[in-house]
Amino acid sequence: MTTTLRQDVSQTSRDILVEDPRTRRHRRLWTPAFLVAILVTLGLLVVSLLTGQFDVFGGEDWENFWMFSITRVPRTVALVLAGAAMAMCGVIMQLLTQNRFVEPSTMGTTEWAGLGLILVMWLVPSATLFERMVGAVIMSFVGTMVFFAFLRRVSLKSSLIVPIIGIMLGAVVSSATTYLALMTDRLQTLGIWFQGSFTGVIQGRYELLWIVLGVTVLVFIVADQFTVAGLGRDMATNVGLNYAFVLFMGTAMVAVATGVTATVVGALPFLGLVVPNIVALFRGDDLRTNLPWVVLVGICTVTICDLIGRLIIAPFEIPVGMVLGLVGGVVFLGLLLRQRRKGGLVS
């Protein structure tokens, strides 16, 4: 994309979004509320570092500090990277599909990642974590493209049709994955993966998550292109945007983030649904100024859910995916009721 065209796309994004009264009110990023949000996020991360069954400050030698550095620190870093990445995946997919109910777990991408993991473990029993990640990313990308192919062939008379298609596709893929896991004696592994948990995140098993940091930075760089693409194929093409390329780029980013997160942590349902909708509810649809908020709220949401899972039946843990599923389900129903009151379910 040339510099002139990039400037045109950025200007178009600003001109259109300024019509939203919530966007006009929240054009400034560095506000007292944002600084408070940063402090709250840092506070939650400190609590995460200090929460656990062994005393970090106890002991007479460096053994406890060594345990702290190989368990608590990697777990907290994983919370930051996974929370930020999956929240932004929701933003990207909601813009590209023009639907607020879409995120990796409501479009089948997460289930495709699970199929990729099981396939790699079946075909290459001695596969490394990186090789499993490659399989998960490839299948996530294939699954997302299949989802978009279905959308092109379906008449969308309701905003609910889009997530229903994704959930149905995900159910079919999940059934195939379960059958394959059953036949290869990996059903227990699949069950652990579907729960989604940070329990197994220790030094040597979380470093792949740094890949999603690159995806996060890239989303910040091309935010204006996603905003314009969210206006629809016709309008985006009229202002000179290569819509097909932006769609491909967004799909690839979501596939990488979902595949990596699924490999290291497992499924984190509804995170990409809850966070972008909460942020948009208060700040409008300006992706560029909303992204820092999406990152912070994503980190806070997954950290709070993880702390609940660690504390509610301590010394045992509830998988964070279970807590997120409960929270996300309630928010999902709340969004449906809100859309119904606004008359937005049927378009």
Per-residue pLDDT tens over the stretch 16-49: 555 555 555 556 667 888 899 999 999 999 999 9
How confident is the model over 269-298, as a mean pLDDT?
83
> Cα separations (Å) of 343 from 119, 154, 337, 338?
43, 21, 10, 9
Alpha-carbon span 197 to 179, nearest angstrom: 23
Tokens, residue 93: 């997919």
pLDDT at 299: 93
Q: Which residue intervals of 154-269 are DSSP H helices?
A: 161-183, 187-195, 210-221, 223-229, 233-238, 243-264
How confident is the model over 66-71, as a mean pLDDT?
82
Q: Does the pLDDT at position 272 exceed 80?
A: yes
Select the more confidently predicted residue: 154 or 180: 180
| 178-237 pLDDT, tens digit each | 898 888 888 887 777 777 888 888 888 888 889 988 888 888 888 888 888 877 788 878
Alpha-carbon span 168 to 150, nearest angstrom: 11
Look up residue 340 and give its amino acid: R
Confidence of residue 345 (pLDDT cuts 50, 70, 90): very low
| Chain centroid offset of residue 226 CA | 16
| 92-102 pLDDT, tens digit each | 888 888 888 88
Tokens, residue 306: 């993880």
The candidate with the shortest Cα–Cα distance to 145, out of 108, 176, 100, is 108
**pTM listed for this prediction:** 0.84
> Cα separations (Å) of 282 from 21, 150, 152, 263, 292?
11, 32, 31, 33, 14
Q: What is the mean pLDDT of the chain?
A: 81
The candidate with the shortest Cα–Cα distance to 193, out of 314, 273, 111, 316, is 111
